[in-house]
Structure 1
Amino acid sequence: MKVTGEVGAKPTVTFPQGTPPAKSSEETVKEGSGTEFKVGDNVIVNYTVYTWDGKNNPTVGSTYDTGSSETIQVTDQLPSVLKEAFVGAKPGGRHVAVVAPDSLTAEQREQAKQSGQENVTQVLVMDMVGLKPEPVTVTGEAADPGLKGVEVKNPEAGKAPTLTTKTKEKAPAELVTKVIVKGTGPQVKSGQNLMAHYIGKIWGSDKQFDSSWERGQPATFQIGTGQVIKGWDQTLVGQTVGSRVLVSIPPALGYGEQGNEQAGIKGTDTLVFLVDIVGAY
């Protein structure tokens, strides 16, 4: 097997003739640099997956096609050959793993059997980006949001803030952004994965429709590329990590005329978010 192309771009794989191997293996195509990954790490990786069938060897999927890297936790739950490929790898490296049935756990073998994939061998080409950053804690002096009808209470660091939107004030017709706490981290760029703690409420009613704080962990999503509502893409790109930002979003930049029935959001509702930007990568 031959793997060519630059790290950081979708690879080209030339498969040998003959029957795919029944035994798993892994190989370093290019050595990375820096701290080695270990069990328990959350590794950001770009990968391309192929099914080695000895005929067409089709591509199953690639993060280079979706435009977004993924995070994989290095645990014993991974097929053993993938775990071997990750442990000891370094940022910037490229590794290839041939995942044959022999490296699957008993549970994975059973799942493969149920889907008729028990004899399938796959090939993963993995470009190691780095470790997923730990979320920061928003600290610093909080400013008055200065948005009539909205109240924010800032607690001690690491605790959920309070957002109140029960008001008779008319909602702003335009998109409004107010930086409550200015973070000192790097600037958020379009296309990055953004880690955020947030509270979402409806203007006027104080109805909360979402809160990452109540789920106990920040949400992670791609920003600036249309993966979230327009109001987020247009306000969070350019902010700095460690910031707390208040955003008022008119319907057209939220869920539009159709609203979001599952969340109880009507097509005329103005959305108010209080967002802690705790990481970007």
Structure 2
Amino acid sequence: MRRALAVLAAVPLILFAAGCGSDGGANPASTASTASTGGSAGVKVTGNVGAKPTVTFPSGAPATKSSYEVIQPGTGPAVKPGDKLILNLTVYNWDGKGNAVQGSSYDTKAPETVAVNEQLPQVLQEGFTKIKHGGRLLAVLANDSVAQQQTAPPQPTKVFVLDIVGAQPPALKAATGKETGDSIKGVKVDNPGGEKAPTLTTKTGEKPSKELVVKTIIAGTGAKVTPNQTLTVHYTGKIWGTDKQFDSSWERGQPAEFPLGNVIQGWQKGLAGVPVGSRVVMSIPPDLGYGDQAQQGIPAKSTLVFVVDVLAAY
């Protein structure tokens, strides 16, 4: 697990890592102590919501118990579990010495997005539900916020000031937009319309390209996917030439959600820049897929074909 603020853009990982001592911690929702309020251990926050805050720390050792405090309650819609919040955040290492700021989205001028779910430490899950859009939350995340490995050294207590800008709209159910009529030679995609799954056919005598091929089947009108985002997608995957299906989120009845940077290179390269709401078909050569390594249901050196609906990106 990356240390807090190693990459400011990866906010869900930042928030999860804030109390972590290692990559091997347990789910914070099951190990965190009960969140407490009461001034967040003497930390004081001044300044207006919408601007970088000023944080003053008490003298002495940093807090060892996680807590939160609502600094400004906000006047917009209430935050609910499952929301994907757009927020500005400023983070400090509370070490009792320099208490240095680790980063702020007010400096980068790029608000971040984080999902309010069980992957967050309990103190943040609870704190977020006590605030509305336009509000400001102070959270102290000490080493009690997640389980520690016995060999892992304790990490500095983190202090987060989080200003809630708004929330991402819910994910789409399926691609929506205008059909382009485009395709990959040898591959067929049938679009039934509405929220029904497309049909992908890859049985062909055509030779697959040795390069990545991406064609837009339905042109969405949402924001373009960026490489550091987490995506919600529906997809079906088959092997070129055989029509053998090895995976389908449609058949599971549940879209997949994952950081784009955590999947095969063909997906990373193929989906970056695709507008949300689009349906694309991708032919992925072995060197951008699984290469010489066979996977469950996928022989080594396979060319993979996916039809993907990009339902949300945050």
Q: TM-score, normalising length from structure 2?
A: 0.63
Identity of aligned residues (%): 48
Aligned equivalent of 2:235: 198
8 Å CA contact 2:116, 2:128 repeated in 1 = no
- Alpha-carbon contact 2:136-2:161 (below 8 Å) kept: yes
What's the CA shift for 1:87? 2.5
Partners of 2:54 and 2:293 in 1: how far apart?
43
**1:133 and 2:169 are equivalent in the alignment:** yes
Q: 1:39 to 1:229 in 2, by over 3 A?
A: closer
Structure 2 match to 1:250: 285
For residues 29 and 179 of structure 1, do their structure 2 counterparts lie closer, same or farther at Cα, with a shift above 3 Å needed?
Answer: same
Residues 125-145 of structure 1 show CA distances to partners (whole Å, capped at 9, x for unaligned) of 153454243112323454444
Find the aligned partners of 1:99 and 1:17 in 2 and give their Cα distance. Answer: 18
CA contact (8 A) 1:46 1:70 kept: no
Number of residue pairs matched? Answer: 263
Of residues 112, 130, 135 in structure 2, which corresponds to 1:87?
130
Task: Give CA-to-partner distance per residue, 1:115-169, whole Å, 9 cap, x none.
Answer: 8xxxx99655153454243112323454444323212121231121111112222
Tell me by how many angstroms 1:188 deviates.
2.6
Distance 1:158 1:63 in 2: 40
Q: Which moved more, 1:14-23 or 1:168-177?
A: 14-23
- The RMSD of aligned alpha carbons is 4.5
Match of 2:40 in 1: none
Where does residue 199 of structure 2 map in the other structure? 162
Corresponding residue of 1:72: 116
Q: Which runs of 5+ in 2 are unaligned?
A: 1-42, 106-111
3-state DSSP of counterpart to 2:211: coil
Distance across 2 between alignment mates of 1:200 and 1:8: 44
SS for the counterpart of 1:200 is strand
Match of 2:275 among 240, 244, 263: 240
The TM-score normalised by the length of structure 1 is 0.69
CA deviations over 1:33-65 (Å, ceiling 9, x no partner): 743324553435677888978789899x9998x
- Residue of structure 2 in register with 1:227 after alignment: 262
Which residue number corresponds to residue 293 of structure 2?
A: 259
Contact 1:45 1:72 in 2 (8 A): no
For 2:116, what is the secondary structure of its paired residue? strand
User: 2 CA distance for matches of 1:149 and 1:14?
Assistant: 64
Return the match for 1:189 from 226, 229, 238: 226
Equivalence for 1:153: 190
Q: Distance in 2 between matches of 1:237 and 1:40?
A: 25
Q: 1:248 Cα deviation (Å)?
A: 0.8
Mapped contact 1:85–1:97 kept (Cα < 8 A): no
Query: Partners of 2:58 and 2:231 in 1: how far apart?
Result: 40
Residue 273 (structure 1) shift? 0.8
Unaligned runs of 5+ in 1: none
